[in-house]
Structure 1
Amino acid sequence: MDKLTVEDFKKMLRNALTCITERADEFSQLDAVLGDGDHGTAIVQAMSAIVESAEKGTEFKTMLNDMGFNVMLQISGSTSTLLGGFFLGMSDCAEGKELDVEAVKRMFAGGLSGVKKQTKAQRGDKTMMDALIPAVEAMQAVETEDVKVILTMGAQAALKGAEATKDMKANFGRARNYGERSIGYADSGASSWSCMFDAFAKAL
C-alpha cells in the first residue's frame, strides 16, 4: 500500500472507535486503580466526536483540523485535550487527499508535537506518552514504501510501550499520589492509545 487516502484514514478512525468501545470497561477499571475510573467513557466520547467530525472530511489538513478543534470544544477533560492536540498537530503536517510513506511519517510526528504542547509528561512517567512516543519513533525508523508496514510497526511499539507501564511508578497527574502502589497495573491512557494505534494498523 503506497498511499494513504482520506477514506483509508476514516476507516482507521472508525476501527479505533470500535476497538476502544469494546475495551472501554477495561480502560475504566485501570483508571479506577489510580484515577477517577472514567477513562473508558471519556475516550469513547472523544473518539465518537472525532469519527463524526472526520466523516465530512475530503482532504487531510482541514479534516484533521476540524477533528482536533471539535473534540476539544465538544468534550471537556484531559482525554479530549490530548486527542485534540494529536489531530491538530497532524493537521499542521498533512496536505492533500493522499499521503505517501514520508507524508504519513510527517503527519504522525506532527501529532506527537501537538500532544507535547498539551502535556509535560515524558516517556517513563506512566502515561499515554509511553505508547505514543515509541509508536511515532518506530514509524520514523522503518525503511519501507508501504504505509501499512509503518502503521503496523507503530502499533507494535505502542502495545509494547503500554505493557511496559505495568512496571512503572506513576510520576504524573493524580496517579503520582499513589507512588509504589501504582506499580503492577498498566496505565489506562497508554492502554487506550495503544489500542487506537493497533486498530489503525488493522483497519488497512
Structure 2
Amino acid sequence: MKQLTIEAFKGMLNNALTHIKAREDEFSKLDAVIGDGDHGQAIVTAFSVVVKGSEKGTEFKSMLNDMGFGVMLETSGSTSTLLGAFFLGMSDSASGSELDAEGVKKMFAGGLANVQKQTKAQPGDKTMMDALVPAVEAMQACASDDIKEILTAGANAALEGAKKTVDMKANFGRARNYGERSIGYADSGATSWSCMLASFAEAL
C-alpha cells in the first residue's frame, strides 16, 4: 500500500475499537494489579469517542484535530489525555486526504512527540510509552515505502515492548508505590496501546 486514504485510516480506527472492546476485561484485570482496575473501561470509552470524532472526517489534519479534542473534552483521566495528545500531535504533522509512506511516518512521529510533552515517562518505566516509543522508532527505521509494512514494523515493536513490561518494576504514577509487587504482570497501558497499534496494521 503506497497511499493511506482517509477511508483506510477510519478502517484502522474501527478495527482498533473492535479489538480494544474485546479485551476490555483483560486490560482492567492488568490495571487492578497496580492501579484502579478501570483501564479497560477507560480506554473503551475514550476510543469510542475517538472513532466518533473521525466519522465525518474528509482530510487528515481537521479529522485528527476533532478526534484529539473530542476525547479530551468528552472524557477525563490520563487515558483520554494521552490519546488526545497522540491524535492532536498527529494532526500537527499530517495534511491532505492521502498520505504516502513518509507522511505516515511523520504523522506517527508527531503523535509521539506530543505525548512526550504530556508525560515524563520513558521506556523502562512500565507505562504505555514502552509500547508507543519502540513502535514509532521502528516505523521511522523501516526502509519500505509500503505503508502496511511500516505499520507492521511498528506493531511488532509495540507488542514486544508491552511483553517486556512483565519483568519491569513500575517507576511511574501511582503504580510505582507497588514497587517489586508490580513485577510479573504486563502494564495495562502498554498492553492496550500495543493492541491499538497492532490493530492499525492488521486493518490494512
Q: Same fold (TM over 0.5)?
A: yes
Structure 1's unaligned 5+ residue stretches are none
Question: Normalising by the residue count of structure 1, what TM-score does the alignment of the two structures yield?
Answer: 1.00
Paired letter, 1:163: K
Pairwise mapping of residues 1-204 of structure 1 onto structure 2 (< 5 A)?
1-204=1-204
Displacement over 4 Å in runs of 4+: none
Alpha-carbon distance in structure 2 between the residues aligned to 1:160 and 1:3: 27
Find the aligned partners of 1:118 and 1:44 in 2 and give their Cα distance: 21
Deviations 1:69-125 (A, max 9, x none): 000000000000000000000000001000000000000000001111111101100
Q: Which amino acid aligns with 2:46?
A: A
Q: 2:131 & 2:148 partners in 1: Cα distance?
A: 18
CA distance in 2, matches of 1:188, 1:144: 31
Structure 2 distance, partners of 1:57, 1:114, is 21
How far, CA to CA, are the matches of 1:160 and 1:166 in structure 2?
11
> What is the alpha-carbon distance in structure 2 between the residues aligned to residue 122 and residue 152 of structure 1?
22
Distance across 2 between alignment mates of 1:134 and 1:99: 22
Superposition RMSD in Å = 0.4
Residues of 1 paired with 2:5 and 2:120: CA distance?
32
Give 5+ residue unaligned stretches, structure 2: none
Q: Distance in 1 between matches of 2:19 and 2:76?
A: 22
Counterparts of 1:152 and 1:180, CA distance in 2: 33
Which amino acid letter does the alignment assign opposite residue 146 of structure 1?
Answer: D
Query: Scaled by the length of structure 2, what TM-score is found?
Result: 1.00
